[in-house]
Structure 1
Amino acid sequence: MSTSTHKQPLKLALSEAHHAQLRDHLFPGDGLEAAAIMLCAQSSLHRYVVNRVLPVDHSSCLARLPDRISWPGTAIEEAIDQAEAHDLTILLVHSHPGGALRFSATDDESDREVMPSLFEASNLPSILHGSAIMTPDGAIHARLYDRQLSITPVSAVHCAGDELLTWRISEQGELMPKPMAFSAQMGLDLKYLTACVVGVSGTGSIVVEQLARLGFGRLILIDFDKIEFKNLNRIINATLEDARNGIAKVARFASIIPTYRSDIEIFTLEASILTREAIELAGLADVMFCCVDSLEGRQLCDRTAAAFLQPLFDVAVTIPTRQTRVGIAIGDVCGRVDYVKPGGSTLADRGVYTPETLRREYLQQVAPDELTEQVAEGYIKGIADEAPSVISLNMRAASDCVMEFIARAYPFRQDPNHRRARTVFSLAAGEEEYTSETDFSRAPNPDLGRGLLEPLLGMPRFSISEVTL
Structure 2
Amino acid sequence: MEKYEIRFKKNNLDKILKNLFLNKDKEQFCIVLAKKDVINQFVIFKEIEVFYPKESDVLSSSLTHISIKKEFIYRILLEFNQRVDIDTLIEIHTHPFLQLNDKVNFSSTDNEDEINFNDYLKSNYSNLNYASVVLSDNSYEARIYLENEIGKIKIKELDVNKEILNKKYLDIYERNIDYMGLNNLKKIFSTEKISIVGVGGLGSIVAEHLVNMGFNNLVLIDNDVVEYSNLNRLVGAKYKDAQEKKLKVEVVKKHLLEINPFLNIKSISSEVKSDEALNELVESSKVFLTTDNHSSRALVNDFCLKYFIPFISIGVNISVINNAISDISGEIIKIFPGDKFCLRCLQRIRQINVDYENIENEKIKEKILKRGYLKEHKEPAVKTLNTILASLGVDSYVNEFTNYNRESSILVYENNKIPIIYEDNISIKNKNKNCYVCNL
Measured against the shorter chain, the TM-score band is 0.7 to 0.9
Structure 1 counterpart SS, 2:389: helix
1:242/1:14 Cα in 2 relative to 1: closer, same or farther (>3 Å)?
Answer: same
1:51/1:284 Cα in 2 relative to 1: closer, same or farther (>3 Å)?
Answer: same
Is the CA contact (8 Å cut-off) linking 1:25 and 1:34 kept in structure 2? no
1:409/1:300 Cα in 2 relative to 1: closer, same or farther (>3 Å)?
Answer: farther
State the aligned residue count: 403
The Cα of 1:213 is off from its aligned counterpart by: 2.6
CA distance in 2, matches of 1:351, 1:308: 21
CA distance in 2, matches of 1:153, 1:334: 44
Q: 1:50 aligns with which of 19, 43, 46?
A: 46
Is the CA contact (8 Å cut-off) linking 2:219 and 2:265 kept in structure 1? yes
Name 1:439's counterpart in structure 2.
Answer: 429
CA distance in 2, matches of 1:243, 1:353: 31
Is the CA contact (8 Å cut-off) linking 1:68 and 1:106 kept in structure 2? no
CA distance in 2, matches of 1:146, 1:34: 17
Letter in 2 for 1:367: K
1:153/1:276 Cα in 2 relative to 1: closer, same or farther (>3 Å)?
Answer: closer
Name 1:425's counterpart in structure 2.
Answer: 413
Is 1:396 the counterpart of 2:396 in the alignment? no
The Cα of 1:37 is off from its aligned counterpart by: 3.3
Structure 2 counterpart SS, 1:63: strand
The Cα of 1:239 is off from its aligned counterpart by: 1.8
Name 2:107's counterpart in structure 1.
Answer: 108
Name 1:191's counterpart in structure 2.
Answer: 189
Letter in 2 for 1:322: I
The Cα of 1:198 is off from its aligned counterpart by: 0.2
1:335/1:236 Cα in 2 relative to 1: closer, same or farther (>3 Å)?
Answer: same
CA distance in 2, matches of 1:319, 1:284: 34
Pairing of 1:287-366 with structure 2 (within 5 A): 287-323=286-322, 328-344=323-339, 345-359=341-355
Q: 2:141 aligns with which of 143, 155, 158?
A: 143
The Cα of 1:168 is off from its aligned counterpart by: 5.3
CA distance in 1, matches of 2:44, 2:132: 12
The Cα of 1:270 is off from its aligned counterpart by: 1.3
Pairing of 1:75-86 with structure 2 (within 5 A): 75=73, 78=77
Question: Structure 2 unaligned runs (5+)?
Answer: 123-128, 165-176
Letter in 1 for 2:398: I
Letter in 2 for 1:339: K
The Cα of 1:287 is off from its aligned counterpart by: 0.5
Q: 2:180 aligns with which of 168, 179, 182?
A: 182
Q: Deviations over 1:79-100 (max 9, x none)?
A: 9x89xx9998764213578998
Is the CA contact (8 Å cut-off) linking 1:118 and 1:129 kept in structure 2? no
Letter in 2 for 1:368: E
CA distance in 2, matches of 1:235, 1:48: 36
Name 1:133's counterpart in structure 2.
Answer: 135
Letter in 1 for 2:67: S
1:438/1:229 Cα in 2 relative to 1: closer, same or farther (>3 Å)?
Answer: closer
Letter in 1 for 2:336: K
1:192/1:433 Cα in 2 relative to 1: closer, same or farther (>3 Å)?
Answer: same
1:441/1:68 Cα in 2 relative to 1: closer, same or farther (>3 Å)?
Answer: farther
The Cα of 1:192 is off from its aligned counterpart by: 1.3
Is the CA contact (8 Å cut-off) linking 1:295 and 1:358 kept in structure 2? yes
Letter in 2 for 1:248: L
The Cα of 1:248 is off from its aligned counterpart by: 1.4
1:360/1:157 Cα in 2 relative to 1: closer, same or farther (>3 Å)?
Answer: closer
Letter in 1 for 2:66: I
The Cα of 1:410 is off from its aligned counterpart by: 1.7
The Cα of 1:224 is off from its aligned counterpart by: 1.3
The Cα of 1:299 is off from its aligned counterpart by: 1.2
Higher relative contact order by CA 8 Å / sep ≥ 6: 1 or 2?
A: 1
1:114/1:235 Cα in 2 relative to 1: closer, same or farther (>3 Å)?
Answer: farther
Is the CA contact (8 Å cut-off) linking 1:60 and 1:72 kept in structure 2? yes
The Cα of 1:318 is off from its aligned counterpart by: 0.8
The Cα of 1:197 is off from its aligned counterpart by: 0.4
Q: Deviations over 1:349-374 (max 9, x none)?
A: 21111434434555797513224324
